[in-house]
Amino acid sequence: MSDQPAMRPLRVAVLGCGVVGSAVVRLLTETSADLAARVGRPLELVGVGVRRAGRNRTASGIDEALFTTDSHDLVTRADLVVEVIGGIEPARSLILRAMEHGASVVTANKALLAEDGPTLYAAAAQHGVDLYYEAAVAGAIPLLRPLRESLAGDSVRRVLGIVNGTTNYVLDKMDSSGAGFSEAVEQAQALGYAEADPTADVEGFDAAAKAAILASLAFHTRVRGSDVHREGITEVSATDVQSAKDMDCVVKLLAICERTTDASGLEGVSVRVHPALIPRSHPLAGVREAFNAVFVEADAAGQLMFYGRGAGGDPTASAVLGDLVAVARHRVLGGRGPGESTYADLPILPMGDCVTRYHISLDVADRPGVLAQVASAFAEHDVSIETVRQQLRPASAPGGEHGAVLVIVTHRAPDAALSATVAALSELPVVREVASVLRVEGM
Amino acid sequence: MSDQPAMRPLRVAVLGCGVVGSAVVRLLTETSADLAARVGRPLELVGVGVRRAGRNRTASGIDEALFTTDSHDLVTRADLVVEVIGGIEPARSLILRAMEHGASVVTANKALLAEDGPTLYAAAAQHGVDLYYEAAVAGAIPLLRPLRESLAGDSVRRVLGIVNGTTNYVLDKMDSSGAGFSEAVEQAQALGYAEADPTADVEGFDAAAKAAILASLAFHTRVRGSDVHREGITEVSATDVQSAKDMDCVVKLLAICERTTDASGLEGVSVRVHPALIPRSHPLAGVREAFNAVFVEADAAGQLMFYGRGAGGDPTASAVLGDLVAVARHRVLGGRGPGESTYADLPILPMGDCVTRYHISLDVADRPGVLAQVASAFAEHDVSIETVRQQLRPASAPGGEHGAVLVIVTHRAPDAALSATVAALSELPVVREVASVLRVEGM
């Protein structure tokens, strides 16, 4: 405590000291003079909450005395709390306890926000504190502040994003080297772009949580992770990637949030995560390796794109510290950041109502009349075919006898109609296998 | 006035009713319910200040009773003032008067901010009101809020931007069609991308004002328009654009703001606007037509890019209304946006200290020993040559006798050394003309 209360440092607690937490702590120390000048008061790190004591933490360069396993106590001694533990518990309890004790919270926890964001918002409102989470989606890319604030006078129509670096790295490798999925995942793991258990990334759980957060902000409507239709990239084959190339397209895992209307004209929100073909001329097609990018379409602004690093210690810490400066400035100058905005309260439209285009690969018998039967199945479900490409399959391929591959691209159709078409195709004796169904976006 | 003071509408005055002003007024009306929900209180348009009465304004759809030529009075009757007149006066006087009467101000006026921003900031601080100006740089692209707020915990190293749509359109046309400068400007004028007098755009004045604003925010240092080294695109020839193509590059007018050190090790800021070659693989190379994009490099965040429409009524209005919601929310919930931040107070480094690469075209005599003489001139000034390409010029070309064109690309060198080299080259009898000097960036 100082004799000049106005210059009393703001006390900062950091919960979690993994890749992001240690970067936050390091940058807090290295740039303390800049941060103090920007906030108008010094920031003082009062503790770093960790799960286990006794680990060798000297390598981190952080003063050993700052570490504590009692995060429950630590959050009561801070004005500002940074939560970078991740996961639901104990992160949620610690955040709520911090707010009860009057601390503003900065978090990078997309899973918690997607599952239980409203509880955190309600606690922030009740205790008159801030909840900021720029780092939860697309790491270093300033994206949530633009959505929440810069576009606050506009109407967002659509958000189309590459928000998971691991899957983008895997798909980019498959595209550039022709590698299969497993091989590309192994490369990503060797380079640290994928975890030993890559499920959360490759099955789209991580992207779905981020899509829920983006849709909530874009459409002023509560969207949870469980509202998001989710398909991962494990079924994407080298053949699919090559077929995309033949169409001058690339396969990307997209998070898509749309304000749209269903068949009855009801306005609602469609939120989904799935692999999709996009044209190579689309700005998102050029997003390579583990980079992230998000394309936003708004009524007045038109098309916007935000590009940068979506993960990593320093990039994520940049977003965390930007938020920390914002909530610290509110302590110094008064005011508060935006709270939860759900006034539009649009319904979440079922996936069956989602209208887009499709790329379907069928393994068929090489017999006259096959195409006619296949085309009839599409016509019966009102799905209009745009192009058909037929490739002969060598006899040596699995299946023994001669066959062919039909690659069909449709015009726009509802997902329910496409699903019914695929079910009907599977029943056709001439169709040996529906090898893949991928959506086509960004045209 | 309402019986519930909390719900008294916030009174909005709009100064100027050109392309941007009329879009602001239209969107204020069309989206009033959304804006009220986001602000927490309705916004009421109390007047639109125009220069001349009696013009036929019915086409705009704006209630005639709202127009006034007495902006001096109008600004005293508003809580929030939008200034989209442009230019220095009467914009400055009206903004200062509005602030004196307690109004927060949203402006799109880059010229005024670049010339006299500190005066506006000082008035905002003195009267406890907000000054927001997202629309002043790169139109609809959320850029200033990310720089001022999202990156407030990071250190920006470099900003590289295409911030003028007119010149990007002209250079893009020259690149895609092989057109010369004048022809491309005429096309831009025919399509409404360039004004009848395109000087402010093609001579780089517009981009220089934006560069000053970006550098001030990025480096927490006061940078005015007159601090910016400025070169326009009027000297860029079809030959330069073709020569760039031969190097797999494209010519863009760039606004460049760098935190760097001079030869003596002094840290400072370099701010400049000039045409430059950038590799086609650089993300800015793909920015076509009248779009804008800004590339930001920060210590922790790494590389970020922001892309979108830099001009036009609706896109600019989107940025204005985003700011309007922000300043209105401060009226409802308390708090204020960031003020001027100049604590770093870095010196502006002279252009001579700026270190980059160069692309030089020389019209030379076709004689033995010419290259040796030219190379000596570079060596004498410590400018290292990376590549030389020689092209024979047909005898029918201007100049009569046989000649050759030497295209030289250098390694990195200070601007002063390059200027001295060019002066020395001009003195060589074997050099008929230094046809062009362009910088090479983004490698």
Kindly state whether B307 is in contact with chain A, defined as any CB-CB distance less than 8 angstroms. yes
CB atoms A154 and B321 under 8 Å: yes
Which residue in the block uniquely carries the two structure tokens 């391929």?
Answer: A397
pLDDT of A2 above 80 = no
Whether B221 contacts B345, CB under 8 Å: yes
First vs last C-alpha separation in chain A: 60
Contacts of B98 (CB under 8 A, 6+ apart): B13, B75, B76, B78, B81, B83, B105
Which residue in the block uniquely carries the two structure tokens 């020689």?
Answer: B390
Cα-flanking dihedrals φ and ψ of residue B35, to 5°? -60, -40
3-state secondary structure of A102: coil
Specify the pLDDT at position B391.
78
Cα(A285)–Cα(A157) distance, integer angstroms: 21
Mean pLDDT of chain B: 93
**Domains of chain A: residue spans and CATH:** 5-139+314-333 (3.40.50.720), 144-309 (3.30.360.10), 354-440 (3.30.70.260)
pLDDT tens profile A282-293? 889 989 999 999
* pLDDT confidence tier of residue A1, bands split at 50, 70 and 90: very low
pLDDT tens profile B158-203? 999 999 999 999 999 999 999 999 999 999 999 999 999 999 999 9
pLDDT tens profile A368-387? 889 999 999 999 999 999 99
Kindly state whether A145 is in contact with chain B, defined as any CB-CB distance less than 8 angstroms. yes
Specify the pLDDT at position A321.
98
- Which region among A83-87, A233-237, A334-338 has the lowest average model confidence (pLDDT)? A334-338
Nearest of B31, B72, B409 to residue B248 by alpha carbon = B409
Specify the pLDDT at position B433.
94
pTM over 0.80: yes
Predicted complex ipTM: 0.92
- List the single residue in B with minimal CA-CA distance to A286: B283
- What is the b/e burial string over B161-172, where b = at least 16 CB atoms within 10 angstroms of the residue's CB? bbbbbbbbbbbb
Kindly state whether A146 is in contact with chain B, defined as any CB-CB distance less than 8 angstroms. yes
**Number of alpha carbons in the 13 Å side-chain half-sphere of residue B270:** 21
Q: Is A110 a catalytic residue?
A: no
A238 by Cβ neighbours in 10 Å (0-12 / 13-18 / 19+) ranks as middle
Cα-flanking dihedrals φ and ψ of residue A127, to 5°? -100, 5
Kindly state whether A319 is in contact with chain B, defined as any CB-CB distance less than 8 angstroms. yes
Nearest of B16, B10, B98, B94 to residue B49 by alpha carbon = B16
A-interface mutation test, from B10, B24, B144, B154, most A Cβ less than 10 A away: B154
- What's the longest Cα–Cα distance across chain A? 92
Specify the pLDDT at position A368.
85
Cα(B293)–Cα(B160) distance, integer angstroms: 9
pLDDT of A151 above 80 = yes
Cα(B119)–Cα(B102) distance, integer angstroms: 16
Kindly state whether A332 is in contact with chain B, defined as any CB-CB distance less than 8 angstroms. no
Which residue in the block uniquely carries the two structure tokens 């700026």?
Answer: B354
Number of H helices, E strands in chain A: 14, 17
Cα-flanking dihedrals φ and ψ of residue B397, to 5°? -70, 160
Cα(A437)–Cα(A358) distance, integer angstroms: 7
Alpha carbon separation from B372 to B230, B379, B434 (Å, rounded): 33, 10, 16
Token readout for A78 is 């801070």
3-state secondary structure of A45: strand
Kindly state whether A308 is in contact with chain B, defined as any CB-CB distance less than 8 angstroms. yes
Whether A286 contacts A252, CB under 8 Å: no
Considering only CB atoms, which chain B residues are within 8 Å of A152? 38, 321-322, 325-326
**Number of alpha carbons in the 13 Å side-chain half-sphere of residue B54:** 1
Specify the pLDDT at position A113.
97
> How far does A278 lie from chain B, in Å, by closest CA?
17
CB atoms B154 and A320 under 8 Å: no
Whether B103 contacts B37, CB under 8 Å: no
Considering only CB atoms, which chain A residues are within 8 Å of B152? 38, 321-322, 325-326
Kindly state whether A341 is in contact with chain B, defined as any CB-CB distance less than 8 angstroms. yes
**Residue pairs between chains A and B whose CB atoms are closer than 8 Å:** 191
Specify the pLDDT at position A402.
73
- The sign of the CA dihedral B405, B409, B415, B418 is negative
> How far does B271 lie from chain A, in Å, by closest CA?
21
Cα(A182)–Cα(A174) distance, integer angstroms: 10
Whether A303 contacts B142, CB under 8 Å: no
Specify the pLDDT at position B402.
73
pLDDT tens profile A18-45? 999 999 999 999 999 999 999 999 999 9
Q: Which residues of chain B have pLDDT under 70?
A: 1-6, 54-60, 393-401
Cα(B114)–Cα(B118) distance, integer angstroms: 9
Specify the pLDDT at position B3.
41
pLDDT tens profile A66-75? 999 999 999 9
Cα(B390)–Cα(A148) distance, integer angstroms: 55
- The sign of the CA dihedral B46, B50, B54, B55 is negative
> How far does A89 lie from chain B, in Å, by closest CA?
27
- List the single residue in A with minimal CA-CA distance to B303: A308
Q: What percent of chain A lies above the pLDDT cut of 90?
A: 86
Cα(A47)–Cα(A70) distance, integer angstroms: 10
Chain B window 358-417: which residues touch A at a Cβ cutoff of 8 Å? Answer: none
pLDDT tens profile B274-283? 999 999 988 8
Cα(B68)–Cα(B73) distance, integer angstroms: 9
pLDDT tens profile A214-231? 999 999 999 999 999 999
Catalytic residue among A110, A210, A245, A252: A210
CA dihedral angle for residue B140, residue B144, residue B150, residue B156, rounded to 10 degrees? 130
Whether B356 contacts B415, CB under 8 Å: yes
> How far does B207 lie from chain A, in Å, by closest CA?
20
Entry field: residues in chain A: 443
